[in-house]
Structure 1
Amino acid sequence: MIKTNKVKLSDGKSYKIYFNKKKFHDLNLSFIKKKIEMKNVGMVRYCLHKSEKDLIQESIIATKGFRYFRTHKHPKNKCETYHIMEGKIIICLIDDSRKILKRKIISSKTDTKIFHIDPNIFHLIVPISKIAIWHEVSVGPFEKNKKFIIFDQTSPDYNSTNNKIISYCNKVSGINHFKNKIAK
């Protein structure tokens, strides 16, 4: 694995991305947990694919505390699957009229550890444990300028206030669980 530079988001938060440059490799949870438990690290993404051009985009994502992933969908032929490895996340499926279709908690401590989302369905992913680590697989290539990700324009953007983001996540997830501070 080769570490890329720290990525800074428009909201001022940053996270580290690591890209795979090996044919074969393994990652263990204790290594990932050590990285996420470092001071000032709220999220780490390990890309198992070699580039954004790969037809399969496969990542291990680790978060510490609350982390906002804006509600989005992917165009036709771009599905996603989530496999929780540690902790728990809630996945909320939303139709185009903004009706909640389904809320599902996937947890490393229950039988439900895998969740698949078909293309063209808005979804909100929210970590709901102190540390959450999951395996995300989607169809590539990742094309920034070709609408690989279509954001729900009614969801708070990344420049919104913490209170607006948390209020939105509480409402959509049906869980009034989130603290008044977003992890940095």
Structure 2
Amino acid sequence: MAGDFIITLLDVDRHDRSAFDCGETELNRYLQMTARQHLQKGIANTYVLVRREEPSKILGYFTLSFLQVDLTELPAQYRNKLPKTSLPAAKLGRLAIDRKCQGNNYGRLLLVDAMRRVAGTIRNAAGVIGLFVDAKNPHVAAFYRKFGFIPLEENPLFLMLPQQTILAAFPERKAAHNSST
């Protein structure tokens, strides 16, 4: 299944945003009207899921950006030994699947890709304490909890996937060791 799909950065000249409909007006509108602007301004990156044989049709998408989280918002067990300031974090701003594709685990595929990208960011570009998401409702929050996201104490719909969980899910690949004899 994974070989039939590509998850790539939104390309407004190649990807047809107008045909996408996930059933949520706000998420459709973001992809169709705002994602390009956020990408160009460096505010958020939008990644789209397409089939290899039909690369212009968007099946789903997610956005990633950075944010700052106040130490007091974190669950108690994650506050230890952290600076008493705002902390850098990654944010999964949106995740949506076209109505015609819902129920095919594409949301899982996109979420795992987002987590993999954040792991790469932590290892190669910038440190973050975790990946955060605002769930629209308790049903959506339950989806994220299946992947290890933890609800924050003050708002159970704002969830965090700790840095340690992300890095454990995507261990560093060891370089192949070549030996000559």
For normalisation by structure 1, the TM-score amounts to 0.29
**When you count helix as a share of all residues, which structure comes out higher?**
2
**When you count strand as a share of all residues, which structure comes out higher?**
1
Name the structure, 1 or 2, with higher relative contact order (CA <8 Å, separation 6+). 1
For normalisation by structure 2, the TM-score amounts to 0.29
